[in-house]
Chains A and B, each alone.
Chain A
Amino acid sequence: MKTEHNNEHYVLDMRNIGKEYYGTRVLKDINIQLKPGEIHAILGENGAGKSTLMNVLFGMSVIHSTGGFEGEVFIDGEKVNINSPVEAMEKGIGMVHQEFMLIPGYSITENIKLNRETTNPGLLSRVAGKKLEILDMKSMNMDARKSLDKVGVGIEEWVKVAGLPVSFMQFVEIARELDKENLKVLVFDEPTAVLTESDADRLLETMRKIASEGIAILFITHRLDEVQRVADRITVLRDGQHVITKDTKDSNVNEMANLMVGREIKMTGESRDNEGSKNVKMRIRDFYVDMPGETVKGINLDIYEGEILGIGGLAGQGKIGLANGIMGLYKSEGNVELDGKKISLNNPEKSLKQGLAFVSEDRRGVGLLLDSSIELNTVITSMQIQGTFLKRYGVFTQRDNKKIREHALKMIKDLDIRCTGPSQITRRLSGGNQQKVCIARALTLNPKVLFVSEPTRGIDVGAKKLVLDTLVQLNKEYGMTIIMTSSELAELRMISNRIAIINEGKLEGILPPDASDVDFGLMMAGEYHKQKGEGVRADG
């Protein structure tokens, strides 16, 4: 192998790929080479640049509408310009999507042959052109059958997709890509995320089989054991940078975890030692949340009074679901107690009334009334829940504009919200200032426990620090218990007392902020207990 690395033939060669969005660099000097029949895994945390890289490869419009990208892409040694997903398809690049691109009302055949239908000339097509040629269902069915057989699915090709089990849809997706005759590179985007273990095994098997036919596979995943099982080589991305590419056999799960997370932690200097208290403020038992894409499947967790608890984990594992479930925004089940009192679930009003407050991860969707003023945004929840900022006339009420204005001005000063005044509408604020308005709204409630989800998402570096400082300050000065959920491990480690890692809807473990990168990496990949468990047994 090693001898021929210089004159090797690459089916896909992406060279020095870089990308900036509005001045923020998200990709820098990424190199990926794929040999025919190779399975190449791409590893990285959320935000490491995996999806941007795929967007570049598929010529998605988000790339082109924001000024294109740097670097070059070669297919079979030939430089290509891919401007749309359709062009990518024509060039022989296919993708098995995480969210299925299937039409439920269509048969499997129709889905496999979508916009690539085989047609026969008919009566009208001779005058009105190719578009009016008649579909040749017979040959389409035969093609579909062939591809389905390739992935080893015995299901009838004329069955409708609606109602098929999830794993079948995945295989139909694969079959569709295989049906494309010139397929050279197939991208699998987190393909096993939705599958049961045995189905995932089958999928890996199928991947090997496809690769053995000479098709190169890009395998995007966070399941390190799967990588070890099927991938020939791995490439690790971190913060938009190419960390390393190496043969899988020269690496191991520990190393991969370390490479994925590894970065210098900028400790803020002040040691975030536990503030002493071990009083349980909130007790969470057997907690389930039905939040699409972020399902929580039974979490047990204690939150101590006056601490900042970080919640981390990869996207889609359920860390976001926890706070949303407790606040009653998604259907939940289980037992949550605050100061020993049970919290009524599935009722946002009661959650708020019992002294919880929430800064949502979806700032513009859930967090703000974008066309209303800063002052109204700040007080509205408190007005609704606690009846504050109102003048009362018997049963009638009116907003107390004077009080609202005073309070808003105080919040603007305290949180340093940059605006033209309290009556400015929030749509016109920058991301960081919008976030501060969300925090101001939560603080107006005087909560006993504050949930903050992804507080720094989509805001610039300077503002990030300000937001985090605000949280620390609230925690120190008012002793507020804060639960911060974030995809950025670095910021969790910066301000939390403890960090809970959620994996596959369950609590994987709790680590101190200064635990090693390997431990964090393994926990996030769900490998911690397997690895450590074996380690213990080996040692003992």
Chain B
Amino acid sequence: MDKVKVYYNKFGLPRIIIISFLLFLLIAAVMLEIPISALISDALVRTGMNGILVLSMVPGILAGIGLNFGIPIGIVCGLLGGLMAIQLNLYGFTAILVAVLISLPLSLVAGYLYGLLLNRVKGSEMTIATYIGFSIVSLMSIGWLVLPFTSEEMRWPIGTGLRTTITLQGRFERILNQWGAFKIGDVVFPTGLILFMLFFCLLVWLFLRSRLGTSMIAAGDNPKFATASGINVNKMRIIGTMLSTVLSAVGIIVYSQSFGFIQLYQAPMFMSFAAVAAILIGGATIKKATISNVIIGAFLFQSVLVVSLPVANKILADVSSLAEIARIVISNGIILYALTQIGGGE
């Protein structure tokens, strides 16, 4: 009994609910004769395409700024990189590489400024980050209308500004997914995509084991301790914020290539919520996060979304919105749960 209790505490109620829910969905899927292999392929792809966005939560949490609801800042930088790659008429891996290289300095600068701001608002980072994210997204909505991109592919044929979705077909659509992809039975394994995600996970993992990374974790864990050990806490918070922003920029490029479209205007508005929810589902808290939280969380969350859609469709004909509702309830429910675990704010 005691052991059960220990496991229960370690696992936490929300994760138990989500895993049971996933199991239930899987059993339902089998019974409804939905092809499991397709579901697994889908889950793998979506884990890979969301993985780096989820990963971007880690430096933020560890540096002590909490759940970084402000990743739309990085996302916008990533989108700019992607658009530039099209504008420069690039294809394939070159396009992705250039997109990343362009978004890098942008997101570093944006992350630095954002980090400076967060240092001035300690204790209220999450609420503020959310609204900073919203503001940036709506500011960039104006940007997408007025920025001087000229590529025909991106602009509305009539009217001003860029299209709301820009197809990447023939540019760099799914090229990571397809690189080295192989089949096990009917399951397609998106080798390039998964490797790319794991590569970034490895980079972050190595960083966290470096001297700088160790200092950053100490600063996030206990600022007073860090100060007493000669660590500049504010600097560490800025580094964490910058890393988080850069990762989200890379994350959106990977996401877009897998999705096949670059989505502009209001699309990035709620992307942070999905990333936050995923890492919480993976077992992270507002103060602690690991790489395994990222991988487990991205996989669990995306699997639930992938499986719930066909299952819901089979049970209730023509009700496609159930999956969307499940997403809303799960992601916001887990965030609420995490907020109540901070300890009353006392």
Contact = CB atoms under 8 A, between A and B. Distances in A.
Is any CB of A less than 8 Å from a CB of B in the complex? yes
Interface of A: 327, 329, 348-353, 358, 360, 362, 365-372, 376, 380-381, 383-385, 387, 390, 396-399
A365 B209 CA distance: 24
A388 to B, nearest CB: 10
Q: Which 5 pairs across A and B sit closest by C-beta, in order of nearness?
A: A349-B230, A381-B229, A397-B211, A366-B224, A348-B230
Interface stretch (B19-27, B112-120, B188-196, B213-221): B213-221
Contacts of B222: 365-366, 368-370
B221 A384 contact: no
B337 interface: no
B206 A362 contact: no
Q: Which size class do B's interface residues fall under?
A: 10 to 19
A327 B221 CA distance: 21
Contacts of B210: 396-399
A458 B231 CA distance: 27
Nearest to B231: A384
A383 B226 CA distance: 12
B288 interface: yes
A368 B228 contact: no
B225 interface: yes
A381 B228 CA distance: 9
B226 to A, nearest CB: 9
B227 interface: yes
A372 B218 CA distance: 9
A354 to B, nearest CB: 11
A384 B211 CA distance: 7
Given A348-B227, A358-B228, A384-B230, A369 B209 contact: no
Contacts, number: 71
A399 B224 CA distance: 22
A384 B225 contact: no
A371 B221 contact: yes
A369 B227 CA distance: 12
Contacts of A385: 229-230
Contacts of A376: 214
Looking at chain B's contact residues, the main secondary structure is helix
B228 A329 contact: yes
Contact of B221 (A350, A351, A367, A369): A369
A348 B228 contact: yes
Given A384-B211, A384-B215, A353 B230 contact: yes
A327 B228 CA distance: 8
24 contacts: A327-B228, A348-B229, A349-B231, A350-B230, A352-B229, A358-B228, A365-B224, A365-B225, A366-B222, A366-B225, A369-B221, A371-B221, A376-B214, A380-B215, A380-B229, A381-B229, A384-B211, A384-B218, A384-B229, A384-B230, A385-B230, A387-B211, A396-B210, A397-B212
Contacts of B230: 348-353, 381, 384-385
Contacts of B214: 376, 380, 383-384, 399
Contacts of A367: 225, 228
Given A381-B228, A381-B229, A396-B206, 9 more contacts: A348-B228, A348-B229, A349-B232, A362-B224, A369-B222, A384-B229, A384-B231, A398-B209, A399-B214
Interface string B50-61: 000000000000
Interface string B215-252: 10010011011011111100000000000000000000
A360 B227 CA distance: 12
Contacts of A383: 211, 214
Contacts of A365: 222, 224-225
B231 A368 contact: no
Nearest to B208: A399
A374 B230 CA distance: 19
A80 to B, nearest CB: 30
Contacts of A372: 218, 221
Contacts of B227: 329, 348
A362 B225 CA distance: 10
Contacts of A349: 230-232
A399 B218 contact: no
Nearest to B215: A384
B341 to A, nearest CB: 14
A407 to B, nearest CB: 15
B225 A368 contact: yes
A383 B210 CA distance: 10
Contacts of A397: 210-212
Nearest to A390: B211
